[in-house]
Chain A
Amino acid sequence: MSEQAWHEQGLRDAALAGDAQAWRLLVEQHQDAVRRYLAWRLGGYRSVIDDLAQESWLIAARSLRRFAPERGAFQHWLFGIAGNVCRNHLRSRRRSRQQPLPVHLEPSEEPSSEERAERVAQALAELPEHYERLLRAKYFEEASVECIAQAEGQTAKAIESTLTRARAAFRELYQRETS
């Protein structure tokens, strides 16, 4: 295990044993990243970010025992939870379409950006998990193809080709949302 994994395992064990300081450290280290990730997943609208972040953290606290540092970083585990929370939120919103969108966009954005934000969020929510992971690494984490290839244990060429397919899948889902 890497040094980071040992560190995160220590914090997890301490938090599970009731050490409030360890849990506080985990929350403080990652809460901004979770909020940014939710903003990316939601395509730009922010009003639900706080609620979804809180829900994600509650789930993380409830299932902290299931976090296995040897399988991945705590942040990626949190992103997995936040992604599911986001998907559930969009699904329930889709079921009750008549509700007005609680969208607050940046002032610079065009009015039509509200719709675009929702379509981006829906398309990301419907993408297969491995495509979403690659797009997240490429666009949200702004990692280079070489870095992604190393993390995924694949060649750069293979990652490029998967990224092309992931973009095409995203575009298709986005256009389907538009139509």
Chain B
Amino acid sequence: MNDELDDMLKPREVPAAPAERQAQLLTCTMTQLKRTRQFSQVKVGALWVAVFLVGVSLGWLGLQREPEQLAIQTAPQASASEIPPLLTAAQIELQAEKSDDPVQTAQLYRQAGDRFLEAQDLRSALRCYRIHLNEGGPDVRAVLASDSWLLMNLKTTNVTRR
């Protein structure tokens, strides 16, 4: 079987291709080669054109876009009821005395009380808190987490008394 296999797989002799066939082969492969080269040149050219167009488009889009507005946040204006931090406790108390609005008056007395307490002036703080509680009425008598220890104490005492 090996002999038969050797025979089947032995190299076959073939006569050389006729001259005209060889010439034809050369002509058509050269044309193919030329076409391939032209195609690759066109591809490279197309790539450059595409890059140029993308660049132009990006530039054009950049010009069309409006300059971004800077988001400037202005500080909220202080409302009439808020007191600038530079005012002293006495000044706030004075404003509270001048105020006609009972709600604002109560608020200002409370702030004056807070300032006095910060300055360790317990007597003045006590005075201001008392006026705050009297002027503010039942709305301000509830104990709040933001209350100072003195105000909280006054509120609970008032409740107990009542």
Contact = CB atoms under 8 A, between A and B. Distances in A.
Contacts, number: 82
B10 A31 contact: no
Interface in A57-72: 57-58, 60-62, 64-65
B36 A139 contact: no
Given A23-B29, A170-B5, A171-B1, A40 B17 contact: no
Nearest to B8: A120
Interface residues of B, number: 27
Given A35-B17, A167-B5, A171-B5, A57 B11 contact: no
Contacts of B127: none
A116 interface: yes
A46 B14 CA distance: 8
21 contacts: A17-B37, A18-B33, A20-B30, A24-B26, A24-B30, A31-B17, A32-B16, A35-B16, A39-B13, A39-B14, A40-B11, A43-B8, A53-B17, A60-B29, A62-B32, A64-B33, A64-B36, A120-B9, A135-B9, A138-B9, A170-B5
Interface of B: 1-2, 5-6, 8-14, 16-17, 21-22, 24-26, 28-30, 32-34, 36-37, 40
